[in-house]
Amino acid sequence: MIAATDQLPDDIGVLKALVAHWAEQASAKDAALAEKDAELARVQGANARLWETLRQLRRAQFGRKSEKLDPDQLSLAMEETEQAIAETGATDETSNATLKASRKGPRSVNRGALPSHLPREEIVIEPESTACPCCGGAMHVMGEDRSERLDVIPAQFKVIVTRRPKYACRACEGAVVQARAPTRLIEAGIPTEALVAHVLTAKYADHCPLYRQAQIYRRQGVDLDRSTLADWVGKAAALLAPLQTRLFEILKTSPKLFADETRCPVLDPGRKRVKLGQLWAYARDDRPWGGSDPPAVVYCYAPGRGSEHVKSHLAGFSGILQVDGYSAYKDLASNRPASAPLILSFCWTHLRRRFYEIAVGGNAPLADAALAQIAALYKIEETIRGQSAEARRKVRQAKSMPLLDRFKSWFEKTLSLVPGGSKMAKAIRYALHHWDGLILFANDGRIEMDTNTVERSIRPLALNRKNALFAGHDRGAEHWGIVASLIETAKLNGVDPQAWLASILSRLVNGWPMRKIDELMPWAFAVHQKAAPVV
């Protein structure tokens, strides 16, 4: 570029050409700068998306999966605080006799009720002398102070010795009579059916792997290998399999089910690695609208997550299926014949989670607005929980439906204002794409807003997975599904799973007829327990 005006040419034509050349260079530089700015914006946008993806992956791997405060974590924190308070109180009472005396009265803290069915052992503490301190005469009982404390007898093993005397006739040679040996679950083995039920409950309800149970037994002087316990579990699962099959048949006669799936790592020795199977959960719980069918859940193991598995599981079921947005369920519904339709009701919790992941990063007013509108819908649900299906439908039509109509209009308007590739746009498109299934609850009082029912039923599987890491074999994963189905269904019906399993194992071992298998279901056991006289 020419630096001084005295160096400019005097010829007008040359000067114009020079100015045009400068303008062309400046335009080229501006275009190059604009291109660099665009590239910089693209790279910055991609970088922001990658950081957001990384944040979500970190949260998925190491963070909490729920947007709610984990009650178990809160309980753990409160335990430590309460222990510190108790320690401080005990120290103060030890050093201050007046304070100790002032606290001898009844405490306002909930100590827990002591059930009437527990055995009582009475201890009577007599004074050193019952002679009158004034005249020395005999004194009579005018009343008493009575208190109860809870004690525990550590788990004890006992050996049941079964004797079968042989009878012979002195007159008739070779005539011998002996009672038939009772049938056992583990032939020629040492456990009773009650002990096997204890092992199953500890593993699948209390999430205590077999090797830990073996360690506990060893402390009691009973030396059992983990492989021995595994053999018991496998034989029990084989015996219980028809019960799980029948339970699923009963569930599939329901007009509405929940479905979800969770990973189930399985050891693959041939490939020297762990393969990823799936436990598919199918649940029924009509208690929120006063339905009479008992709650239940069934877990089915499959080596994958494809739609062919859910299609096989739900063969014969037609009605409403409450699910998340996973494509396998959509494939299942779209390929159903008209004679056996399947209607999908989608989950508001899964939709809410999309906006929560945007809002949790901060400074996201649109996501906050979406969360507020979803919260308004849930607030209505709180007022109608436990009411009849028709009462719930009427309230939803009057209160929820207007909110849903406004919500959809808000989605459509907001979608036109946000960048098409943004997470907000993707969340809104998800909502609009699933809208018919999301608002289905407003027209049917039996339907819940979300799939939390089945997600709660999956939590025990996650705890077992955390403790056991993986199943050792596909059959082991199937056993997991069988026993977990029965135990979680018993818990849903308020039945002690160990007592129930001990009862049904004993009956099945002794030839319980399959035509009466419905009488072994947990809800039938619960009715029997209530009808049984209290001893």
Give the model's confidence band at 285: pLDDT under 50 very low, under 70 low, under 90 confident, else very high. very high
pLDDT at residue 447 above 90?
A: yes
For residues 498-518, average pLDDT: 93
Q: Which residue has the higher pLDDT, 370 or 12?
A: 370
Element (H, E) at 32: helix 12-62
pLDDT at residue 142 above 80?
A: yes
User: Is the separation of the CB atoms in 348 and 404 below 8 Å?
Assistant: no
- Residue type for position 230: A
Q: Which pLDDT does position 239 carry in this prediction? A: 92
Residues 6+ apart with CB under 8 A from 480: 204, 264, 279, 299, 301, 461, 464, 471
Give the model's confidence band at 129: pLDDT under 50 very low, under 70 low, under 90 confident, else very high. confident
Percent of the chain with pLDDT over 90: 36
Residues 6+ apart with CB under 8 A from 281: 258, 259, 260, 261, 262, 297, 298, 299, 454, 457, 458, 461
Q: Which residue has the higher pLDDT, 275 or 206?
A: 206
pLDDT digits (tens, 9 = 90+) for 450-477: 999 988 888 877 776 665 544 556 677 8
Give the start-to-end residue ranges of the domains of the chain: 349-448
Query: What residue has token string 């053999």?
Result: 231
Residues β-bridged to residue 263: 278
Q: Which residue has the higher pLDDT, 353 or 186?
A: 353
Query: What residue has token string 């996201």?
Result: 364
**Token duo for residue 52:** 């957001």
Q: Which pLDDT does position 103 carry in this prediction? A: 53
**Token duo for residue 487:** 């135990």
pLDDT at residue 7 above 60?
A: yes
| First vs last C-alpha separation in the chain | 109
pLDDT at residue 439 above 90?
A: yes
- Residue type for position 271: R
pLDDT at residue 512 above 80?
A: yes
Q: Alpha-carbon distance 310 to 298, whole Å?
A: 13
User: Is the separation of the CB atoms in 314 and 491 below 8 Å?
Assistant: no
DSSP 3-state assignment of 277?
strand
For residues 190-215, average pLDDT: 90
For residues 64-92, average pLDDT: 53
Note if the pTM is more than 0.85.
Answer: no
